[in-house]
Amino acid sequence: MVKAKTEPPAGASTSARSYHHGNLRRALLEAALELAQRHGPERVSVREAARLVGVSPGAPFRHFPNRRALMTALAEEAGERLRIEVRKSIGRGRGSPLQRLRALGRGYLHWAMRHPSHFKIVSARDQIDLDGSMALRNSIGEVRELTEQTLAEAQRQGEVDAVHGVAALALLSRATVYGLARMQHDGHLGQWGVGAGEEAAAMTGTLDLLIALMRRAPVS
């Protein structure tokens, strides 16, 4: 059952392709990511990806029904990486639940800043088919679950008051972090008083501010 190829399947080194490319699907995804990094996701073209891989313009359509499917597959990989990153980050938050939530948010923000192309792709609604991708929805879903679990724990420990529901607090957290990441990627931060070199600080600082507001004792 194992597809043992006679050719080395992985590879930065382009092996001698006779007719069939060893793993065209993979190669196309990498080429598309490369193009996304060069010119932005909206200017990824199937033809150019094919050219980059050294294959005819029609070949990609054996693996993806259309351009959108290619971009969606790319987004699925990005979403998976984001999910893993968030999972890892939450482990770094030692101590209280709110500290873990902070770590989660920082992980999200840092990932979005360090991998702008990937972040652009996951959030490029008009380029991908979110509704048709269970994988992508699952990645988002897990981030949500982690957020809610952490907030529930914070409430249980009295770090956050229980006046407001977990779902509402989670939505607020997510909206803030998502909004920050998108503001950066949309170039809005400069208009909001954030200098060129201080974007990371501003973003994490804003996250910290939200968490500080959450931490306070309930109004009585």
Amino acid identity, position 141: G
Residue 47 as a binder of a second copy (CB under 8 A): the answer is: no
Residue 192 as a binder of DNA (CB under 7 A): the answer is: no
Question: Residue holding tokens 């199937």?
Answer: 46
Q: How many angstroms separate the CA atoms of 82 and 106, rounded?
A: 12
Which CB, 11 or 58, lies closer to DNA?
58
Three-state secondary structure call for residue 89: helix
Residue 192 as a binder of a second copy (CB under 8 A): the answer is: yes
Q: How many CB atoms lie within 10 A of CB 98?
A: 20
Residue 201 as a binder of a second copy (CB under 8 A): the answer is: no
31-52: b or e for each residue (b if 16 or more CB lie within 10 Å)?
bbbebbeeeebeebebebbbee
Residue 13 as a binder of DNA (CB under 7 A): the answer is: no
Chain residues binding DNA by CB under 7 A are 1, 3, 5-6, 15, 18-21, 24, 44-48, 50, 55-59, 61-63, 65-68
Chain residues binding a second copy by CB under 8 A are 40-42, 123-127, 130-131, 137, 140-141, 144, 164, 167-172, 174-180, 182-183, 185-188, 191-194, 202, 205-206, 209-210, 212-217, 219
